Each structure stands twice: as structure tokens, then as C-alpha cells.
Homo-oligomer: A and B are copies of this chain.
Amino acid sequence: MELLKHCIREKGTVVSSGVLKVDAFLNHQLDVSLLNEMGKAFYAHFGHKGITKILTIEASGIAIAVIAAQYFNVPVVFAKKAQSLNLAGDLLTSQVYSFTKQRSYDVMVSKRFLTAEDNVLILDDFLAEGSACRGLMEICHKAGATLGGVGIAVEKGFQQGGQLLRQEGVDLLSLAVIEAMSPEQGIAFGVTQQF
């Protein structure tokens, strides 16, 4: 998606070969016009799939999901990050490992809001090794829900998460795929579908 790539080039900062800051438009300050164009792109790809619910994870995923949900006309559920899961038995849980923070955390969704009737679109801001996405997929699986697809804003194509999901047959759409990046040389985007 050219607008997103443009924002990444103009307003993103490559902190290191692994870390891209997009806090000017995607995960601290939010460019709502961009989010709407992203929502349209997700709908163009997944709109025919009978999605009944959009699933994301707090906090950065919420903005992307809720704007996109307007096109799909379905509710959003966002998974909560929990310190501990000694709560009620009505939770769907999974463990996610954050490579950025070098630690694991639990994520949870109430069973009331995800069921075997649901056809779920997972949306998130970043895909690198894919741990957060796997956590959400596990929660869908525990709910007995169908996975309709996965939509990602920025995929780090030099990490393996996206490749593995595609090999497994997941319908994965990443609006921008970064093949390589460095503070010195900037960002090289891979080929994505046209929008």
C-alpha cells in the first residue's frame, strides 16, 4: 500500500536493523486518514470472506482494528495483556513472547466474545516472528472459531513470521513488507499486492 510506505519513508525512523519507529502515525500519534485507507485495503482483500469479528491485541492494534471494522460492519474484540491469569474460567488465553521486550506475557479474551460461530479477521500493526499473531490464532482455535485471515500493517519480511504463516495456508495480507532496513541505508520494501 503506497500511502503506508510513503508514511514509513517520510515519518518513520529506522532505529536499528531490527527496530522501526512509526510512532508519528501508527502507534503513539495516530493518522486517522491513513488508518481509513488501511481499513479500505483490508476490506478490499477480506471483504468477501464473511468475517463476523475482528480480533486484535492492545494497545496499538485497537486503532487499526476499529477503523477497519467500520468497513466490515462487525464488532472488534481486543485481547488484553494480563500480568497473571488467575482470574475466572471464562477466559481464552495464550502466551506471547515479545522479542522487543525479551519476555513472555499472557493475552486473554473473554469466551463470551469469541465463539465457534465466528469467522475471525486478525489485525495488528506489526508482524515479525509472529508470536502475537500466533497467540491470537491460538485463542481463535480455543474458541472453535474459524480464522478468516490475518491483516498486518507492517511486516518485517526479513523475519520469518509471515513466510511461515503463508506456508501454512493462512490468508495473510501485509500492507507494507520491509525486506531490509538500516539507519544508514534506509528501508527496502518488498513487492506487495497493489492498492
Contacts and interface: CB of A to CB of B under 8 A. Distances in A.
A46 interface: no
A76 B23 contact: no
B67 A66 contact: yes
A84 interface: no
- In the assembly, how many copies of this chain are there? 2
A28 interface: yes
Contacts of A32: 66, 69-70, 73-76
Given A58-B59, A66-B35, A67-B66, A113 B77 contact: no
B29 A113 contact: yes
A142 interface: no
A48 interface: no
Given A59-B58, A59-B62, A110 B23 contact: yes
Interface of A: 23-24, 28-32, 35-36, 58-59, 62-63, 65-67, 69-70, 73-78, 80, 109-110, 112-113
